Amino acid sequence: MAQISLTFPDGNARDFPAGVTPAQVAADISNSLAKKAISATVNGAHWDLAWPIDADAEIAIHTMKDDAQALELIRHDMAHVMARAVQEIWPEVKVTIGPVIENGWYYDFDRQDPFTPEDLGAIEARMKEIINRRDPVTTEVWARDRAVAFYEANDEPYKVELIDAIPGDKPLRMYWHGHWQDLCRGPHLQHTGQLPADAFKLMSVAGAYWRGDSDRPMLQRIYGVGFKNRDDLRKYLNFLEEAEKRDHRRLGREMDLFHMQEVAPGQVFWHPNGWSIYTTLQDYMRRKQRAGGYVEVNTPQVVDRKLWEASGHWDKYQEHMFIVEVDEDHAREKTMNALKPMNCPCHVQVYNQGLKSYRDLPLRMAEFGSCNRYEPSGALHGIMRVRGFTQDDAHIFCTEDQIESECAKFIDFLTSVYKDLGFDSFEIMFATRPEKRVGSEESWDHVEKALEQAIKATGNDYTLDPGEGAFYGPKLDFKLTDAIGREWQCGTFQVDPNLPERLGATYVGEDGAKHRPYMLHRACLGSFERFIGILIENASGKLPFWLAPRQVVVASIVSDADDYVNEVTAALKAAGLRAEADTRNEKINYKVREHSVGKVPVILAIGQREVEERTVTLRRLGEKQTQVRPFADVLDDLAKEAVPPDLR
RNA sequence: GCCGCAGUAGCUCAGUGGUAGAGCGCACCCUUGGUAAGGGUGAGGUCGGGAGUUCAAUCCUCCCCUGCGGCACCA
């Protein structure tokens, strides 16, 4: 029999007969490893212990200690166990697919009636039973015809469709535990008993389209989370609780920031506290942009459909636009308009006024542009996904040669903004030419290269996102990570030669001839509404001092201190701080609690002693300790602390 | 938009085929209290909207609206 050579992670190599399985290799090394082994990596591929190896290879045997592989196998097999449990309880249910996702898995079923929360309990109980049966897992490679015949006989149409979609040269793996089987590429654990019966939980039921296509049937999806042990599961459930506590909708109410109501779905009613955050952030961005060489403009909300037709948006996005028809008797002209869903066509109109010279480029035109989009009802989510929002939008008109330096400049700009706002790192996604696109290959080559060079010039890494660019040009998306590890795509940078073309933007070059500028769409925050939601959740409501809507509350302990409280408050306000006096007839305990819940960063408590000594007792949010200090000093410190980061 | 769930006082929620209740909040009174809820009294509800069944609907049925969890979407 032919021998093959297997190289282990420590560099040692040994010979085995061709067709040896990782299980046999493990057994050859030690009994205990054979027992503990769960899978292997063979030449970089995650490999089932039972799959034969036919040629020289690098091999690593995994145990439950290898998190990545262990979790992959656990979640994967959990999905199968769940599907088996469902079919054991309801044999008529049809199975479809069930992939591993972050923290767990889901499985989509075709079933007449949706699953209820009570059903989840029954399924969980059955899953535990199945795990305890310790059924061995086996995989078999079947011929395509046999598999199709099998699934047709079992009335599993979705599986037949899946097989049809698998390329002809790929082996079809049939996966069995006990009498239950599923089509699956593997790898798998050796038996279901290797699954931790106390470290998973079925979380929710939801509808999901078959193959993610809204024209196809709606299936019933069950989500589960699974870990190696009970502790990890508990940690994850705690994380979810923590995320819920940070929910901006809840904090928005508790901190009295904004509300939303039925008369304006998807739009924000900003309260004084929330609007304070908004304007503080906007003032900051305005200063940054001025310093960054942008000019600021403002353009109309209601714009004739002719412009949207010219820009191409009418064709593509009409469904998502708020249409405003002026068709009343009193109107002189009957027109059809749309609320602007974006600012770029209007910016081109500003650009097009007067003749532009190459000397005017790059022209960086910014607008805090209020936009309205008729988002599908199901997409709305607090202030994160709304129908009326304001972008920190800008368009840079430039020549092809300027793209690279403008891109690098923007990345630096964005880095500085994110840092000021408390996000130290972000990820760059580089989306390149999609299949359906306009423009010449040479132009794509050049522009993509310019973006890549620009990223490198700023010393950042990027993740390639092939084929995900806009039809008119490549783009960069910037994702920041929040305090509990969630990612948010906020910034964007898109190269667009198309819109200037459609809307007839030109500049006069050195040669005296007219040329077409490029347009770079860019944003840092995305929308103020969404970004403020992110800020709130990132900080758990405890916003940095300069952004906090109420920075200081001055609270009296006894009513004899009221005059001094008012005096202190007035002095704080005069120094530009957002301060409030609280002289209500309540105990200091009560006031401290209320303003702590309201996330006020600093409480100055004033009783008889402070009045006499011209001091204040300072208490910072989240700290139990207080400090008694002369008010003049405190005023000085707080005024410094309130300076926005760009002015320090 | 699709699937499921929900909508009762400002907020969080209980409740019943015979037109409603708690806690917090709010108002007033007592209390002047030293760092996360002092006490008392009181006001406050077209039970999301519309239609139907019924002697009678907040409750049952249907339609709509809005929200929530997903899916799809996100220029």
Residue A43 tokens read as 């030449």
Question: CA of A565 vs C1' of B42, distance in Å?
Answer: 31
What SS3 state is found at A527?
strand
Quote the pLDDT of residue A328: 66
The DSSP call for residue A102 is T
Q: What phi and psi, each to the nearest 5 degrees, are found at residue A606?
A: -135, 120
Quote the pLDDT of residue A330: 66
The DSSP call for residue A53 is B
Residue where the block lists tokens 């925050």: A525
Q: Which nucleotide is nearest to A494 (CA to C1')?
A: B75
What pLDDT digit, counting tens, does each position of A362-401 carry?
A: 999 999 999 999 999 999 999 999 999 999 999 999 999 9
Residue A581 tokens read as 């006096």
Identity of residue A627: Q
Quote the pLDDT of residue A586: 94
CA distance linking residue A72 with residue A76, whole number of Å: 6
Beta bridge partners of A553: A580, A603
What share of chain A in percent tops pLDDT 70? 99
User: For residue A362, is the peptide bond before it cis, meaning its omega torsion is within 30 degrees of 0?
Assistant: yes
For β-strands A295-296 and A363-372, DSSP reports them as parallel
Hey, CA dihedral for A420, A423, A428, A434, is it positive or negative? Answer: negative
Q: Which residue is nearest to nucleotide B37 (CA to C1')?
A: A590
CB contact set of A595 (below 8 Å; sequence gap of 6+)? A550, A553, A555, A582, A603
What pLDDT digit, counting tens, does each position of A397-434 carry?
A: 999 999 999 999 999 999 999 999 999 989 999 999 99
In this model, does residue A75 exceed pLDDT 80?
Answer: yes
The segment with the largest mean pLDDT, out of A94-103, A204-213, A509-518, is A509-518
What share of chain A in percent tops pLDDT 90? 84
Q: Which of A199-213, A296-310, A530-544 has the lowest mean pLDDT?
A: A199-213
Within 10 A of A427 (CB to CB), how many other CB atoms are there? 15
Strands of A256-318 (E only): list them. 258-259, 269-270, 295-296, 302-304
Set A305, A313, A347, A395: catalytic member: A395
* Residue closest to A87 by CA, chosen among A37, A10, A35, A158: A158
What does the radius of gyration of chain A's CA atoms come to, in whole angstroms?
Answer: 31
**Catalytic status, residue A353:** no
What pLDDT digit, counting tens, does each position of A259-289 carry?
A: 998 889 999 999 999 999 999 999 999 999 9
Quote the pLDDT of residue A329: 66
Question: CA of A608 vs C1' of B38, distance in Å?
Answer: 20
How much is the average pLDDT of A125-149?
91
Question: CA of A635 vs C1' of B70, distance in Å?
Answer: 50
User: Strand order of the sheet with strand A3-7?
Assistant: A13-17, A3-7, A57-62, A39-42, A45-47
Which positions on strand B lie below 7 Å from a protein C-beta? 1-5, 11-12, 29-38, 65-75
**Distance (Å) of CA A496 to CA A204, A295, A310, A417, A476:** 42, 20, 15, 24, 12
How many Cα atoms sit within 13 Å of A444 on the Cβ side? Answer: 19
How much is the average pLDDT of A228-243?
90
What pLDDT digit, counting tens, does each position of A46-66 carry?
A: 999 999 999 999 999 999 999
**Distance (Å) of CA A580 to CA A566, A568, A595:** 9, 10, 11
Q: Which nucleotide is nearest to A311 (CA to C1')?
A: B75
**Catalytic status, residue A371:** no
Question: CA of A381 vs C1' of B46, distance in Å?
Answer: 30
What pLDDT digit, counting tens, does each position of A192-213 carry?
A: 999 999 999 999 888 999 999 9
The mean pLDDT value of chain A amounts to 93
In this model, does residue A175 exceed pLDDT 90?
Answer: no
